[in-house]
Amino acid sequence: MGMNVGSSSGDDEVVSTINTTPLVDVMLVLLIIFLITIPAVVSTVKVELPKETNVVRVTKPENIDISVTKNGEIYWNTTLVPDVDALVQRLGKVAVLNPQPEVHVRGDDKSRYESVGRVVYACQRAGIMKVSFVTEPPARGG
């Protein structure tokens, strides 16, 4: 049984053509990736995002500090408010003052968004025009 292993002259023929199959495969994969990702980048709604500002809080006697604990309890300065309806009534009384006082909401780091949202909604129902959130600045160098 015999096998043909090439020419008998001993000269190996050099293949001088470039195999373009791997190049075409890579280009097709890149094309598919671009076709999938470009619509996600282009199809966003054009909005003007707010700019971040750090404003030093000016404490005035007429300002109202409303604190929300991690358990969802609401405090008017240092007095516990029993429920959101009582908060709306108290805010309604000060909303008619001229100038209207600012409301500073101090939410605990562990409080639920729902609890702070109730306070903001109560301010809206009472007609308060300026609601601010009090935060702690980040540590220096961090």
The answer as to whether 114 is a domain residue is yes
- pLDDT at 47 (0 to 100): 67
The better pLDDT of the pair 37, 80 is held by 80
Mean pLDDT along residues 28-43: 80
The answer as to whether 79 is a domain residue is yes
The answer as to whether 36 is a domain residue is no
Give 47-106 pLDDT, tens digit per residue.
Answer: 666 666 666 766 777 788 999 999 999 999 889 999 999 999 999 999 998 888 999 998
CA distances from 72 to 17, 95, 109, 120 (A): 75, 24, 11, 13
The answer as to whether 72 is a domain residue is yes
List the CATH number of the domain containing 93: 3.30.420.270
The answer as to whether 17 is a domain residue is no
C-alpha–C-alpha distance, residues 83 and 85, integer Å: 6
SS3 128: coil
Instruction: State which residues form the domain around 110.
Output: 64-133
The answer as to whether 41 is a domain residue is no
Give 2-31 pLDDT, tens digit per residue.
Answer: 555 555 565 667 777 888 888 899 999 999
The answer as to whether 43 is a domain residue is no
**Per the structure, how many domains does the chain have?**
1
Strand order in the sheet with 103-107: 79-81, 74-76, 64-68, 103-107, 131-133
Q: Which token pair is 4?
A: 């043909």
DSSP class per residue in 40-91 = HHH------PPPP---PPPP-TT-EEEEE-TT--EEETTEEE-SHHHHHHHH
C-alpha–C-alpha distance, residues 103 and 131, integer Å: 5
The better pLDDT of the pair 126, 13 is held by 126
The answer as to whether 59 is a domain residue is no
- 64's CB contacts (< 8 A; 6+ apart) are 76, 77, 91, 94, 101, 102, 103, 104
Residue 43 has pLDDT above 90, yes or no: no
* Residue 97 and residue 57 in contact, taking contact as beta carbons nearer than 8 Å: no
